[in-house]
Structure 1
Amino acid sequence: MRNWDTGVVLWIDLEGAVNIRDVGGIPTEDGTTTAPGRLLRADNLQDLSPADVSYLLDTVGLSTVVDLRTKTEVHAEGPAPLTRVGRVSHEHHSLLPEGTWDPAAEALLVRHRQEAERYPDDPACAHYLCYVTERPDSIVGALRAINRAPGAALVHCAAGKDRTGVVVAFALSVAGARRAEIVRDYAATGERISAILARLRSSATYAEDVDKVPEHRHTPRAETMAEFLDQLDRRFGGVPGWLVDNGFGEDEIGALRRKLRTEP
């Protein structure tokens, strides 16, 4: 899927999704690679064609879809083609709060403002830190779904860049991927940002918000993911420390590491 000598990502080209790739083949710190066919990342799956579905099922071996969107998004977009396939299990783990007017909303907004004030030039990093403090249950649930998948697992949100980027960064960190390659995989979504935004504009769910900021503000920056991972190191002892603190045990970390790696 990748030519790591040149840093080029080769995409899975489908008719109904524009930001989908296998995260296998990524070099690890100890000289091996992540295993292909275990974990995919993608944008919204609403527009998959029959040929796309057949490819994911028969060629990729997809067994599990992990949807990081809110229930509001899922309801607004309606059933996706893969939800009609009985042999594919679907798990929903929103990284955003589901209710705007719950009793904790005011405190949540205060914490979001505090994070944003720390990163006035990088609001994405602030959002990502809120994911880990406000929805640890969903990050842990998503990783458990990947762990349980009998075939390939696919993680997606709307654009496949922010929420998906955080969960995949956690998974790749557990697999022992080199930090620079985790950052590179995250930033690779920028190669497709125009196509991603075009898809979002075609959806009544997302169209209104897309052009509230210029395109470059939507584009993932390598510096954002590097700073996010550094903050996890400083605040929580890194991804493994955060996972253990949030109930994802050492045995689960070991199982996920083995699942995502190509062992020598």
Structure 2
Amino acid sequence: MTSTRTGRWVRLDGTTNTRDLGGLPTTDGGTTVPGRILRSDNLQTLSEDDVRRLVGEIGLREVIDLRTTAEILLEGRGPLRDVDEVTHRHFSLLPERGHHTDVFAVEESDPADLPEGWLESLLPRQVAEHDEGEPPAVRSYLGYLGQRADNVVAALRALTATDEGASVVHCAAGKDRTGVVCALALAVAGVGHDDIVADYAMTAEVIDALVAKLAASPTYAEDMVSRDVTSHTPRAATMDRVLRLLDERYGGPTGWLETHGFGADEQARLRSRLRE
């Protein structure tokens, strides 16, 4: 059988940016454990073989979906939604109008009929005055933390809900929203600043294929073709800056988490997901 793994990458037919958070060094000389938490781009186009590999070989049991309600309804039901063993949880990192907190119930009740107004469902994000001088990507990431701290914490909390099997965190590209949540998870696990930044920047290795994949979807095509590939490419300096700002303002990512209600006990449970 051909291995689906190349280093930390998990090679699948239907994704281009799936990798394991295991195998990263920690500041105390340890290593994060493979097969516990994965990060990925959109899972809508997984093949039957992908589903078999994820569920049967890797042991996937939980999907943490960071997309907006509009994205989920526009993209439609993905193949993992038909797998009873896999629990889906939704935590949008962008402000939204409406009260459809159970997006998957909406999806199942009338998946073919997108409610009127969902395309305009995103609220304008406010930029804190002290962040106005930051680069656009840094401002966006700080916006997730500033305006949807509840769902950032909820996504991390969901990763502690099971002790068995693997979880996957994903958005559309698996680089921005996913990058912020995974950076916090790795910080809790004890992975150092430079290795967190390097994990974030790995998406640049597959950016051409990733942009091509998203451009094939009507949901994302306009954004993909209206800008060049370089503008979509994650830069190490972006995550480096976000982490340094968290250091300055909160004493680090774990300090931000403590400030927002994700304290020592929950951090210990999350750490145990990525550490022996």
Answer whether TM exceeds 0.5 for this pair: yes
Query: Residues 153, 29 of structure 1: CA spacing in aligned structure 2 closer, same or farther, 3 A cutoff?
Result: same
Q: Does 1:168 align with 2:182?
A: yes
Q: Which runs of 5+ in 1 are unaligned?
A: 2-7
2:159 alignment partner, one of 132, 135, 146:
146
**Post-superposition shift, 1:213?**
2.0
Secondary structure in structure 1 of the residue aligned to 2:29 = coil
Letter in 1 for 2:28: D
Shift in Å, 1:12:
1.0
Per the alignment, residue 5 of structure 1 pairs with none
Runs of 4+ in structure 1 deviating by more than 6 angstroms, as ranges, are: none
1:112 is displaced (CA, Å) by: 6.3
Is structure 2 residue 123 aligned with structure 1 residue 123? no
Task: Give the corresponding residue for 2:51.
Answer: 53
Post-superposition Cα deviations, 1:90-129, rounded to whole Å, max 9, x if no partner, equal 0000111112679xx56x43x26863x312xx31111000
Of stretches 238-247 and 186-195 in structure 1, the one that deviates more from structure 2 is: 238-247
In structure 1, C-alpha distance between the alignment counterparts of 2:76 and 2:137, rounded to whole Å: 27
What are the equivalent positions in structure 2 for 1:22-37 lying under 5 Å apart? 22-37=20-35
Amino acid in structure 2 at the alignment position of 1:142: A
Q: Structure 1 residues 9 and 226, CA, compared in 2 at 3 Å: closer, same or farther? A: farther
- Could you say which residue in structure 1 is the equivalent of 2:108? none
Give the structure-1-normalised TM-score.
Answer: 0.90
Could you list the runs of 5+ residues in structure 2 that have no partner in the other structure? 98-119
Using the size of structure 2 for normalisation, the TM-score is: 0.86
Contact 1:27 1:33 in 2 (8 A): yes
Which amino acid in structure 1 is aligned with residue 174 of structure 2?
G
Kindly state the Cα deviation for residue 238 of structure 1 after the two structures are TM-superposed. Answer: 1.3
User: What is the identity, as a one-letter code, of the residue corresponding to 1:238?
Assistant: G
**Identity %, equivalent residues:** 50
Output the amino acid matched with 2:195: E
**Aligned-partner Cα distance in 1 for 2:77–2:7:** 30
What's the CA shift string for 1:2-34, capped at 9, x where partnerless? Answer: xxxxxx954211110110011101000000001
1:68 is matched with 66
| Cα shift readout 1:20-63 (whole Å, capped 9, x = no counterpart) | 01110100000000111110000000000000000001111000
Correspondent of 1:158 among 169, 172, 176: 172
**Inter-partner Cα distance in structure 2 for 1:192 and 1:112:** 32
Distance 1:243 1:16, change over 3 A: same
Q: CA RMSD in A?
A: 1.8
Cα distance between partner residues in 1 of 2:161 and 2:258: 18
Distance change >3 Å, CA 77–CA 145, structure 1 → 2: same
Q: How many residue pairs get matched?
A: 249
Question: What is the Cα deviation at residue 259 of structure 1?
Answer: 1.8
Amino acid at match of 2:250: F
